[in-house]
Structure formats: structure tokens, C-alpha cells
Amino acid sequence: MSSFSNTSELHATAAVNDILAKVLPGMKKVKAASETKATKSKGSKAQLIDRNLKKMIALQQRDVHKIKKKERASKKNALKTRQSQLLKLEKDAKLQVLKKHLKDGTLTQHESEYINKLTKRTVRNAKSWDMDDEEKEESLELQEYILQNQAESKNRERSNKRRKRVKAFKEQKNDSDGQPIEDHRYPGLTPGLAPVGLSDEEESSDEERGNGRDDDW
């Protein structure tokens, strides 16, 4: 709308208001259409700005909430990772102690109960497929070591038995080849030789007993 039209509209509105004031005193004045539009335009702009401000504040608050949530999650994950690392170190140290005690044969009752408990839990979890990676690794490593240690123990036992058999065979072979055999009555004495200090009477009595046995035979 041109400025001339606006001016004419304002003059006409003023004339109408003067007539109304004379005819109907106290009546609300009529506003021109341009004034009404300007007022509405100002109001709509203010409302738009207010809405935009509210949206910006809401977005900022949401961003702050997201940032805090991410920070809490990051700290929680870091703490969980740290605890997991410490737990793994503790389990590894315990496993090394168990290996040493198992190898030396110095397992305590508590350690034996722990191994039995771990073995049972491994079997149970293996059946239900319910075992985390750390428990599975620890259990498999311990079981592998136990089996290896048992195999080594059996090998040592078989080797010791073999050495004893070979030693007994060699001793028996030496005896059969004419090596001196000790008198069981007098250890360290070759048969046919009287021990030092043995009197003639003792020799005679032995001979008499020997003759008596021959007679009985």
C-alpha cells in the first residue's frame, strides 16, 4: 500500500473517531488497518524471536545433557576396563602360584578345592555354553597345565620303574656270572670265610649242625 493511501486511511479513521466521540462519548476508537497490521507484525516477530530463543536454549540443554552422558559412559567404561585388567592380573598371578605348587606337590587344601571348583565350573559352563572369555582362558590354561603335569609325572614314574628293573636285572646278571654273594647271616662277608672273632667252638657247632642236617636229609 502506498504512503498516500495510508495517509488517506489515517485521515478517514481520525474523522470517524471524531464523529464517534461526539455521538457516543467514551467509545473505543477505531484503529486503521495499517496500524493493526503493524501491531500484529510486531507481535508475530516478538513471538518468533521468543520461540527461537526457547528452541536454542532447549538444544543447548540437550547438548549439555548428551555431553555429560557421554562423559559418564566414558568414565564408566574406563573404570570397567581398569577393573578387568586388575582382575586378569590377579588371576594370572594366582594361576602361576597354582602351577608352581602343583609342580612341587605343595598344594594347600584351599588351592586343591579351588582347582576342583574351577574344573566343575568349567564342565558345567561348557555344557551350558555360559562362560566369558577370561574364565574360559583361565580354565583351559589351568587344565592344560594339569594334564601336562600329570603326563610328566607318569613319564617320570615309568622312567623310574624302568631304571629299577634295569638295575635289578644287572645285579641279578652279575650274581649269575660268579660275582661274590654276601652271606645273609653276616652282611659284607663272603661265604666260606669265618667272621673275625668267631671261635673254633662256634665253627665246630656250626659244622655239627650242618652234619646233623645232612643226616636228616
Determine, yes or no, domain membership for 163.
Answer: no
User: Who has greater pLDDT, 13 or 82?
Assistant: 82
Number of structural domains in the chain = 1
CB contact set of 138 (below 8 Å; sequence gap of 6+): 91, 95, 118
Determine, yes or no, domain membership for 13.
Answer: yes
CB contact set of 131 (below 8 Å; sequence gap of 6+): 122, 125, 139
Determine, yes or no, domain membership for 16.
Answer: yes
Determine, yes or no, domain membership for 11.
Answer: yes
Express each pLDDT in 18-66 by its tens digit. 666 666 565 555 555 555 555 555 567 777 777 888 888 888 888 888 8
* Average pLDDT value for the chain: 68
Determine, yes or no, domain membership for 9.
Answer: yes
Query: pLDDT at position 213, please?
Result: 44
Structure-block grid coordinates of residue 144: 592344560
Q: How confident is the model at residue 149 (pLDDT cuts 50, 70, 90)?
A: low
Distance of CA 76 to the CA centre of its chain: 17
Rounded to 5 degrees, what are φ and ψ at 80?
-65, -40
Interval 67-73 mean pLDDT: 87
CA gap 172, 110 in Å, rounded: 47
Query: pLDDT at position 9, please?
Result: 66
Interval 182-211 mean pLDDT: 48
Express each pLDDT in 108-140 by its tens digit. 888 888 877 877 776 676 655 555 666 666 666
Distances (CA, A) of 144 to 99, 147, 148, 150, 170: 11, 5, 6, 10, 39
User: Is residue 7 pLDDT above 80, yes or no?
Assistant: no
Domain that holds residue 12: 1-35
DSSP for 27-59, please give it: PPPPPPHHHHHHHHHHHHHHHHHHHHHHHHHHH
Query: pLDDT at position 216, please?
Result: 42
Determine, yes or no, domain membership for 5.
Answer: yes
Determine, yes or no, domain membership for 29.
Answer: yes
User: Who has greater pLDDT, 200 or 141?
Assistant: 141
pTM for the model = 0.32
Identify residue 145 by its one-letter amino acid code.
Y
DSSP for 148-193, please give it: HHHHHHHHHHHHHHHHHHHHHHHHHHHHHTT-----SSSTT--TT-
